[in-house]
A and B are shown apart, each in its own frame.
Chain A
Amino acid sequence: MVASFDTHVFWEALSSGPYWKGALLALGLTVASISVAIVIGFLLALGRSSRLRAVRGFVFFYNWLFRATPTLLQLLFIWDALPQLWPVFAGSWFTPFLAAFVALSLNEAAYMSEIIRAGLLSVDPGQELAGRALGMSRRQILRRVIVPQSIRIIIPPTGNEFITLLKLTSLASVISVHELLTAANEQASVAFKFAEVYGAALVYYLAMVSVLMLLQSRLERRFTFTSAGRRRRVAAPAVPAVSHDAR
């Protein structure tokens, strides 16, 4: 048996308002950031194969900048250094949540662009050829043919990114965003019941990730193109291995 584990404190923490709010905040921040990151990442992925050298150069620079520096540093830079450089950001509108949202979106976009690029490249070139033979424009081919097919390949690594990002939101505690870990820390410093309050936080993260995994498998089935919607074997995605822990 565990020497001392106060289940009452554990349940108390689990059902407390700050935990709920913290978890919702973390989830909201994650959903908002990954959504924006997917849009920016898609544009970056297209930019990689642009005819314009300057565009390709910009994408390279962007991905280099955001992947070569720690996420925590980017967060601090955007929250503390931007207002110093440009007074516009010193206004009260620039909240910690907004700063975290901007930092995580820009950071995540660099990773998403590589994932989306690999997804687009995984589509057989014959598909584009057939579209052109029908007289479809490049835009139409991308929207109706290439993107839908690449989504199946893009989903699993994007699920990974979502999970990583959800956990990265805990970094936002350093710029006083009241997310889940902040809530746990505050309770821990009051009661000194670490196992109970951190245990409750673990449960929240596990629950959120579980729901996400469920959604992911549904989404994967939705983008499997058979009439019965049943599972089909799909070649392992050609996505570069990305290490997450060190961000």
Chain B
Amino acid sequence: MSRDAILRADAVHKHYGDLEVLRGVTFEVGRGEVKVIIGPSGSGKSTLLRCLALLEEPDAGQVSLEGRRPGRGEVGMVFQRFNLFQNLTALGNVMIGLTEVRRLPKREAREQATEFLARVGLKDKAGQYPDELSGGQQQRVAIARALVMRPQAMLFDEPTSALDVELVREVLDVMEQLANEGMTMVVVSHELRFAHHVASSILMMDEGVVIEEAPPEQFFSAPEHERTRRFLALVE
């Protein structure tokens, strides 16, 4: 495995009432790696991401970033439904982490936020509110909002599954560019073509555990598990 693991999950367990959603998940991501997680709904993929982003506290096990607990904004998260702040403009959404969490002065925050909006190709939409943007544009703003915090790693929870088909591409392009720049990424997605040529490796989750992990070539051509084979047949 990678020599330089920066984000790790160690035997992570999570229950909701009687339901055990994660049943001891262990995996790690090396610096600059892109891991794509696939699996049926209810397999625990989203819960795993939420544990990595510290949005959920694991019942047992540990999450660590470079061997310690991740700090505020150090692990960026992009949601399926974008979750842009509805009362703020695109620029306001990207600025707020800098002004509230990083305590930067407004002017400096505005400069940085504008730069990051430009990186996702939305500089001209700075003054628009989320309601006035397409789903693809909203998701790109959401990516800029997370990136501007200079995270050590980025998590994507089905970032394109709430989008109309013709808007998927623009979001995947931004993500691919990010991967090429060396961002460490964990992506829950069923965009298999994206997985195929961007992922360092692909993980298959089922019933709260990782049942298989392999580089894309091997994963798609010769999956080890019967469960993975059946799932791939359904998704493709």
**A contact residues vs B (CB 8 Å cutoff):** 124, 126-127, 129-136, 140, 144-145, 148-149, 225-227, 232
Contacts and interface: CB of A to CB of B under 8 A. Distances in A.
A130 B79 contact: yes
A130 B145 CA distance: 10
A126 B71 contact: no
B68 interface: no
Q: DSSP class of A's interface residues: helix, strand, loop or mixed?
A: helix
Contact of B85 (A127, A132, A227, A232): A127
A126 to B, nearest CB: 4
Contact of A133 (B81, B128, B146): B146
Contacts of A124: 83, 86
Q: DSSP class of B's interface residues: helix, strand, loop or mixed?
A: loop
A225 B145 CA distance: 19
A66 to B, nearest CB: 31
Ranked nearest first, the 7 interchain pairs of A and B with the lowest CB-CB distance are: A135-B72, A130-B83, A133-B77, A135-B73, A126-B83, A134-B97, A148-B87
14 contacts: A127-B86, A130-B77, A131-B85, A132-B55, A134-B72, A134-B73, A134-B146, A135-B71, A136-B96, A136-B97, A144-B96, A145-B85, A226-B132, A227-B128
Given A135-B73, A135-B149, A149 B86 contact: yes
A124 B127 CA distance: 22
Contacts of B77: 130, 133
Given A140-B100, A227-B132, A134 B55 contact: no
Interface of B: 53-55, 71-74, 76-77, 79, 81, 83-89, 96-97, 100-101, 127-132, 142, 145-146, 149
Contacts of A226: 129, 131-132
A232 B149 contact: no
A133 to B, nearest CB: 4
A229 to B, nearest CB: 10
Contacts of A126: 79, 81, 83
A148 B97 CA distance: 17
Contacts of A134: 72-73, 96-97, 100-101, 145-146, 149
